[in-house]
Each structure stands twice: as structure tokens, then as C-alpha cells.
Structure 1
């Protein structure tokens, strides 16, 4: 095999696909006319390669079930942390830390779930439920009367809504972060 044979061998796949320039095709065909080895190689390269089906050893359904289970566990952990977070830093504890903490919670939750609905559920529901439970406990302990218990419902909604506003501000920051990341 000489230098021309190596060049012809490299050009054969492009030749079979019709991707060569006319001048290169002329050169290759003239070489094939004079070289027996390259002519045999050209004949072999025209035959389609048998495609072998490869069976996967991975059970996709089982793999996706495991992934969904792990994601569900992470979601439960995040909801539990947010509920504890809600109790520790809420307005009910006479603390204004909730402004910054719920904004940060909104950013993190939106970046993880990418859903305003989930941000709302994670930030509003724990406080709303906690405020209602607190009202019922105070009622059953005799600290408030029935009329004050009834007022606990709009109060619980108001407390949840205030925290929700700051969480939505945080989720808008999260959305902005994602948009900036996409534009890069």
C-alpha cells in the first residue's frame, strides 16, 4: 500500500455518501481503476453494515421509580423544614425576621420546584394551619372565647398571606435568577 491507497481508504466513506468534490471523485475513481486492493475495499464499503440490536440491562421503570421515590423524600424533607422554619420565624413569634427568611425561602423553593403554586403552598399552608391550631388550643384552654376563635380564621388567613407576599417576592427573585442563567 502506498500513500495514495491510504488517502483513498480515508475518502471511501465520503465517496459512498456522495460528499466529495468532482475533482476528488475523478482522482479516486482513477485510483480505484488501477489499484486492486482499494477496489476490493470500495466494494466492501458499499455493503450496508449489519445493525445489531443491543438490549439494555437497565430496567427503566425500576430506575424511574427509585428516582421518583428519592424526589418525594426530598420534597417531604423540604416541606418539613419549611414548616419548622415557619414556626420559628413567623410573625406569630413577634419577630420581623420572617421578612428576610421568607424571601430567602421563596427563592430557594422556587429554584427547586420552579412553581409559584408550590411556593405558595409551602409558605402559606403551614402558617395558616399553625395559626388555626393555636387559636383552637387557646379556645380549649379558656384563654379566648368563641367569638375570638371565629376571628382566628381571618387572622390565620392574614398571617399566612403576609408571609406569602414575602415568599412570592423571593420566588420572583428566583425566577429572575433562572432567566438570567438561561440568557447566558
Structure 2
């Protein structure tokens, strides 16, 4: 690293605001330095790369998620947030709509866009292999509105993609 490269996670509070970009401008977060200090539950492993705590991001969150075979979320939406999912490995299935009547699948190299307020369910469509993705959200706050009065076309199976923001149906 050059003398001007920084790998720290704090801002130079003592620098004048106009000069802070010199110390806290572009940041590189190495793939082996992701933060696993996020909501973790069986069936899912999430790591933060970009968020407010790590780099001072104000309007975006980015990280990785690995979902175990056959894991599914309950029906939910993310309020005003927009989400982008980039599939690295595996087979993702997204269901959406008032009864989750619409379905699309994505594989490695595919992007998924989830607009604000769209009721949806994320599914690892492969019964044998984990699904690995990069997730980007349009805000630092994890907004999840669980929807419990939906009779989905595809029922969640016994393994749920459940964490503090994705609650199990009936919880």
C-alpha cells in the first residue's frame, strides 16, 4: 500500500471538512475483510462490506449473503428501499405479488431488482447447493415489513431464511 492508502474504518474528525476527502475518500474493502457482525441465523450467513459503521456510508448498504439449500424467507417488503441482488453462485428464485403469483429465477451473473413496497419471497431454488449473492440496498437502515395475511402460491418450506429482520411466518 502506498503512503496515501488507508485501511482504517474511522474518519479524520480533526481534519477540516473540505480536506476530509484526502483521508476518507475512496475506500477499498478487501473480500477477506467483510464484517460478519450482522444478523446471523441458521440457514443464512450475511457479511457487511459497506455501511455506516464501516465507511460512513449514508445512503447505501452492501454486503454478501449465503443462503443454504431450500431456505426461503417469509413474505415481506422493504418499504421505500430499493434492493439489488447479484447472484455469484447457485440458483435464486424470487416470488412476488399479492399471492406471490409471479416468479423469476436467476443464476450466476444475473442481477435481481426489488422495487419499493413489492411483497416478495427470496428462495434458494437449489435443494443441494448454497446460493451466494451480493446484496445492495438503497439505505443503511434494514427495513423489513413482514406480511402475515398472504396465502402464497409457493408455501415456505420447513427451513426459513429467518433473521432479526426476516421473521418466520406466525412469529
More helix by share: 1
Radius of gyration: which is bigger?
A: 1
More strand by share: 2
TM range (shorter): under 0.3
The normalised TM-score by structure 2 is: 0.19
The normalised TM-score by structure 1 is: 0.18
